[in-house]
Amino acid sequence: MVKSELLGYVRRSNSGKALKISINAEAFGKAERYQTQDGQEYVAMVIRLDKIYELIEGNKDVTNITQILNN
């Protein structure tokens, strides 16, 4: 079973010309991180592509941003 953690949400802007991304600061602080060979640190996040299409088409108001957990 794949485990994931909610990190935030994506929604369309009021004008419908942009996507607004909201990340929960506490969840982001606890998120798993990985480091690249050049020493940069990243947090991998996932947004389902089919849900983004629904947002863009106006069929959905909001969708989630998650992190797939490696544990």
Checking if the pLDDT of 7 tops 80, the result is yes
SS3 for 31-68 is CCCEECCCCCEECCCECCHHHHHHHHHCCCCEEEEEEE
pLDDT of residue 57: 92
Domain range annotation of the chain: 4-68
Of 66, 68, 65, nearest in space to 9 by CA: 65
pLDDT of residue 33: 95
pLDDT of residue 71: 65
**What is the spatial distance between Cα 41 and Cα 55, in angstroms, rounded to a whole number?**
29
pLDDT of residue 5: 95
pLDDT in tens, 14-62: 888 899 999 999 999 999 999 999 999 999 999 999 999 999 999 999 9
